[in-house]
A and B are shown apart, each in its own frame.
Chain A
Amino acid sequence: MPAKLKFDQVKVGDEIPAFVVEGVTRADFVRYAGASGDFVPLHYDQTFVEAAGIPTVFAQGMFTAGLLSKALTDYVGVGQVRKFKVRFATRVWPGDTVTCRGKVTNKTERNGEKIIEGELEVVNQKGEPAIKGSFAAACA
């Protein structure tokens, strides 16, 4: 698997380049529903959500987590992730702009691999956290 990072070149405090998605759409949620099999109606059925007292459909947490994982694999390389953890906070609504980012907080060795660990987050256009997370990834 291709490691993109050399362990010796990574410093604690290094930032993962941000992945910004401007204006997520209902179509994004529907596409994710089809791809993942997550057909919980809260994410595409306007009639259903209104009946539940919610103004409009909102993103699957794992859709947003998927965007965040893309920021991470662009940085560390596909196949390098050893741990990926997300905690869901505020919801992501149609039209929101989300910024996926993170930073390296620790370097260590585990199971014979050179590992970097760090924090992850997704924030909306108001700076509110949609996801707080953490990761571990192997380096070359």
Chain B
Amino acid sequence: MAEQSIVGKTGKPFRFPIEWSKVREFARAIKDPNPLYFDPELAKKECGGIPVPVTFLQAAAFWQDEQSSPGMGGFDLRRILHGEQEFEFFKPILVGDVLTGVARVADLFEKEGGRGGKMRFLVVETEYTNQKGEKVAIARSTLIETGQAVKAS
């Protein structure tokens, strides 16, 4: 189990600025017309600034460069599925914040697959802090490497 050694490995910190244009574009993409994402005056009054949708941090995942990734556990990218995603929030995230994310391999394990072949699970936790050094959120992704190539179900 040489790969087990990557558990605990962290990527290089990356920055993720929270910008209004991106927030409202994301809100529109998830079909959420809530005015708090589109009306800065209302948002300031109600929330102290423009808030972000629950899954918005997912957009940060695609702005990490290779060095910010703690590694993919040697997973075959052709056989990979996004199994689970979890977010925990500790403080508000508002437009104007600049977050710093650090991704860490939280777990790596195997299970027997249903149709033969082992399935492997990689759990990556990304902790986000804001410009004040406050921990604001954790994003936890579980990726699955299937025993055989991904096909239509």
Interface residues in chain A, defined as those with a beta carbon under 8 Å from any beta carbon in chain B: 1-2, 21, 28, 31-32, 34-39, 52-55, 61-63, 65-67, 69-70, 72-74, 78-79, 81-88, 90-91
Closest 6 CB pairs of A and B: A66-B30, A37-B62, A35-B29, A69-B54, A85-B86, A70-B32
Q: How many residue-residue contacts, CB under 8 A, span A and B? A: 118
- A54 contacts B55, C-beta separation under 8 Å: no
- A38 contacts B55, C-beta separation under 8 Å: no
CB-defined contacts of A73 to chain B, threshold 8 Å? 32, 34, 53-54
Minimum distance in angstroms from A21 CB to a CB of chain B: 6
- B82 contacts A32, C-beta separation under 8 Å: no
The answer to whether the Cβ of B28 comes within 8 Å of any Cβ in the partner chain is yes
Number of contact residues on B: which range applies?
Answer: 35 or more
Cα separation A36 to B82 with both chains bound (whole Å): 15
- B153 contacts A35, C-beta separation under 8 Å: no
- B81-105 contacts to A, CB under 8 A, are 81-89, 92
- A85 contacts B31, C-beta separation under 8 Å: no
Given contacts A21-B31, A78-B36, A82-B88, contact A37 B63 (CB under 8 A): yes
CB-defined contacts of A72 to chain B, threshold 8 Å? 54
Residue in B closest to A81 when the chains form the complex, CB atoms: B54
Cα separation A71 to B86 with both chains bound (whole Å): 17
